[in-house]
């Protein structure tokens, strides 16, 4: 497709389970970003990829969170042993590069932890 | 540290009225500035951006924003609001250089439009 694609669009899981969220960026975009959007917290930066490497992981909230990107394209965000405070919308964005290039966002994955 | 403040959490305007959404940023150098709009259940759509040059920038959907360095502001304006403009609006600042590529977002302003 033409835009950033995220799957699943909604995910409900039990506390303690692991979840994997997927992001398929716009073709040709070398930079990929993950953000978390939750009530009262706004949009929080999680991690940034340039190609397959992640020069900035500063936003990952704990070691339960990890992300990878393969082939300079698809990225997965994994949350292990989910907690209720992980409930949020996880947004992925991509761009041609860093800093001054506009980021294009997917519609997000709404994660609910029971 | 960089930060973005959107002082208004919620604004209601009448259809056809003018609109101004406020944004103030904190950054040591000239920032890259963006406004995004988010409709319910959707991702963020870029309205406009400022990198350098003319301080009044035009965007999509009839929006414009003005960069004022002396006030550290980048307010979003629209002369006549349409009901379809009801959404949440986010101001963001991007870093220059280094390895940091992420945007710093304000907490958003929710716009409601009265008929």
Predicted confidence (pLDDT) at residue A10 exceeds the cutoff of 90: yes
Residue of A24, A100, A106 for testing the chain B interface, max B β-carbons within 10 Å:
A100
Predicted confidence (pLDDT) at residue B100 exceeds the cutoff of 70: no
Is the Cβ of A52 closer than 8 Å to some Cβ of chain B? no
| Highest mean predicted confidence (pLDDT) among A6-10, A46-50, A57-61 | A6-10
For chain A, the 3-state helix, strand and coil shares in percent, each to the nearest 5, are 5, 50, 45
At residue B98, the pLDDT reads 44
List of residues 6+ apart from A62 with CB closer than 8 A: none
Supply the Cα-derived Rg of chain B in whole angstroms: 14
At residue A90, the pLDDT reads 97
- Mean pLDDT over all residues of chain A? 91
At residue B40, the pLDDT reads 86
List of residues 6+ apart from A75 with CB closer than 8 A: A22, A23, A25, A32, A34, A49, A67, A68, A69, A92
Chain B residues with CB-CB distance to A93 below 8 A = 43-44
Q: Do B43 and A50 touch (CB under 8 A)?
A: no
Chain B residues with CB-CB distance to A4 below 8 A = 43
**What band does A102 get if pLDDT is binned at 50, 70 and 90?**
confident
Mean pLDDT value across residues B57-76: 96
Considering only residues 33 to 62 of chain B, which have any Cβ-Cβ distance to chain A shorter than 8 Å?
A: 34, 36, 41-46, 49, 51
Q: Do A105 and B43 touch (CB under 8 A)?
A: yes
Mean pLDDT value across residues A83-95: 95
At residue B99, the pLDDT reads 44
Cα dihedral value B61, B66, B67, B71, nearest 10: -130
Tokens linked to A80: 């292990």
List of residues 6+ apart from B28 with CB closer than 8 A: none
Predicted confidence (pLDDT) at residue A47 exceeds the cutoff of 50: yes
């Amino acid at each position: 497709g033409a835009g950033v694609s995220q799957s699943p669009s909604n995910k409900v899981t039990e506390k303690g389970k692991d979840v994997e969220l997927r992001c398929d960026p716009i073709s040709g975009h070398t930079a990929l970003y993950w953000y978390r959007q939750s009530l009262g917290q706004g949009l929080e930066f999680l991690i940034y990829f340039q190609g397959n490497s992640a020069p900035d992981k500063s936003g990952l909230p704990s070691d339960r969170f990890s992300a990878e990107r393969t082939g300079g394209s698809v990225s997965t965000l994994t949350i292990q042993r989910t907690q209720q405070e992980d409930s949020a919308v996880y947004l992925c964005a991509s761009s041609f590069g860093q800093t001054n290039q506009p980021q294009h966002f997917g519609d997000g994955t709404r994660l609910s932890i029971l | 540290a960089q930060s973005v403040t959107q002082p208004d959490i919620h604004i209601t305007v009448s259809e056809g009225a003018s609109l101004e959404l406020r944004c103030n940023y904190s950054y040591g150098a000239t920032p890259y500035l963006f406004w995004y709009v988010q409709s319910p259940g959707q991702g963020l759509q870029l309205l406009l951006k400022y990198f350098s040059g003319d301080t009044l920038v035009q965007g999509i959907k009839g929006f414009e924003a003005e960069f004022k360095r002396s006030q550290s502001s980048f307010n979003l304006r629209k002369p006549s609001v349409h009901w379809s403009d009801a959404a949440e609006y986010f101001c963001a600042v991007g870093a220059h250089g280094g390895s940091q590529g992420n945007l710093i977002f304000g907490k958003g302003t929710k716009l409601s439009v009265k008929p």
